[in-house]
């Protein structure tokens, strides 16, 4: 199983937006991605708490950077993060079993939640924070109201349970999609639901197209198409709404450091054109996979949460 405690996350940032909610697929079913990725960051060394502007080779520390620890100016094995409309960072700090909020340009954080092993965090357009609380509680909870919106019934594979939930996604209907890593499936929990629906995988761990291998990240567009990163299978698959199997769009060629391979993929994001950015953990790099929409009738692809295409990487 992937050790999410040391898994970096990547997200192109935005001004005045919160979570990666894609308003329209804009990518036809026949669209493809270049199987050979381009390394845009890393490849030789691991980067730490780095904020990079496009075209630059160095970064700026925006949170932490003072060594591992439990001080308000420190982090310990940070994982997921989200940015609110005011530019504040909400950071999963599992090494300290807390969630921290760092106000824009501040030099220390404030703890908003204790006793949690947070792996994934998103913010909806109303400012509600969703936290993937794994290891002990196997649930997704919200802040500041503390509601459990997925799982919370112990670790297991029943429809009302989760097992090591990794990254999460919240759509415009407030449905929560969970990369349920331990169960090798992706679950959808509609707002107010007491159990989830399997929307991908759930057929045991494996390499077949109807299976997932430890899903670690998920993105969902408004057409209901899922993009799933699979750490165990070293691939990213695309699942159309209602489909019983996925299509491999990146990777799937075994683990390795070649341009067409990824090893223990951790997180991913799309830019406004539909190009795919992947945090390739074991290879210490961010990979860029260009999209080919030449077969699409409409090539428009609008993702308003991506504006300046800066990149934030969270490692330890």
CA separation for the pair 41, 141 (Å, rounded):
33
Q: Is the pLDDT of residue 44 over 60?
A: no
As given in the structure block, the two tokens for residue 219 are 């993105």
Q: What's the half-sphere exposure (Cβ side, CA atoms, 13 Å) at 261?
A: 12
For residue 257, give the DSSP letter.
S
Digit-coded pLDDT (tens) for 166-215: 999 999 999 999 999 999 999 999 999 999 999 999 999 999 999 999 99
CA separation for the pair 9, 161 (Å, rounded):
25
As given in the structure block, the two tokens for residue 65 are 């950077």
CA separation for the pair 9, 245 (Å, rounded):
26
Q: Is the peptide bond before 144 cis (omega within 30 degrees of 0)?
A: yes
Q: How confident is the model at residue 55 (pLDDT cuts 50, 70, 90)?
A: low
Q: Domain 4-65+77-314 sits in which CATH superfamily?
A: TolB, C-terminal domain (2.120.10.30)
Q: Is the peptide bond before 259 cis (omega within 30 degrees of 0)?
A: no
Task: Please identify which residue in the block is written with the tokens 């994934």.
Answer: 120
Q: How many Cβ atoms sit within 10 Å of the Cβ of residue 103?
A: 14
Strands 226-230 and 89-93: what pairing? unpaired
Task: Please identify which residue in the block is written with the tokens 């077949």.
Answer: 208
CA separation for the pair 219, 231 (Å, rounded):
15
Domain ranges of the chain: 4-65+77-314
pLDDT attached to residue 43: 62
pLDDT attached to residue 283: 84
CA separation for the pair 17, 107 (Å, rounded):
22
Q: How confident is the model at residue 54 (pLDDT cuts 50, 70, 90)?
A: low
Give exposure, 55-86, as e/b (b: 16+ Cβ within 10 Å): eeeebeebbbeeeeeeeeebbbbbbbbbbbee
């Amino acid at each position: 199983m992937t050790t999410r405690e040391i898994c970096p996350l990547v997200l192109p940032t935005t001004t005045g937006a919160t979570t990666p909610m894609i308003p329209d697929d804009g990518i036809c079913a026949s669209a493809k991605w270049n199987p050979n990725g381009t390394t845009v960051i890393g490849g030789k060394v691991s980067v730490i708490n780095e904020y990079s502007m496009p075209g630059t080779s160095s970064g700026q520390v925006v949170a932490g950077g003072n060594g591992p620890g439990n001080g308000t100016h420190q982090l310990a094995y940070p994982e997921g993060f989200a940015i609110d409309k005011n530019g504040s960072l909400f950071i999963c700090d599992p090494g300290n079993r807390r969630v921290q909020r760092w106000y824009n340009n501040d030099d220390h954080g404030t703890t908003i939640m204790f006793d949690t092993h947070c792996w994934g965090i998103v913010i909806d357009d109303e400012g509600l924070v969703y936290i993937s609380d794994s290891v002990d509680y196997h649930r997704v909870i919200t802040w500041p109201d503390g509601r459990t919106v997925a799982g919370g019934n112990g670790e297991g594979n029943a429809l009302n349970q989760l097992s090591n939930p990794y990254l999460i996604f919240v759509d415009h209907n407030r449905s929560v999609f969970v990369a349920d890593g331990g169960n090798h499936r992706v679950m959808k929990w509609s707002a107010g639901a007491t159990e989830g629906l399997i929307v991908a995988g759930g057929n045991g761990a494996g390499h077949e197209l109807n299976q997932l291998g430890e899903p670690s990240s998920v993105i969902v567009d408004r057409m209901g198409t899922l993009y799933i990163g699979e750490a165990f299978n070293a691939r990213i698959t695309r699942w159309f709404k209602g489909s019983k199997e996925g299509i491999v769009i990146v990777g799937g060629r075994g683990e390795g450091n070649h341009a067409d391979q990824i090893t223990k993929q951790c997180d991913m994001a799309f830019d406004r054109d539909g190009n795919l950015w992947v945090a390739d953990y074991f290879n210490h790099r961010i990979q860029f996979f260009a999209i080919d929409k030449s077969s699409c009738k409409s090539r428009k692809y609008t993702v308003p949460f991506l504006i300046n295409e800066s990149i934030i990487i969270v490692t330890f």
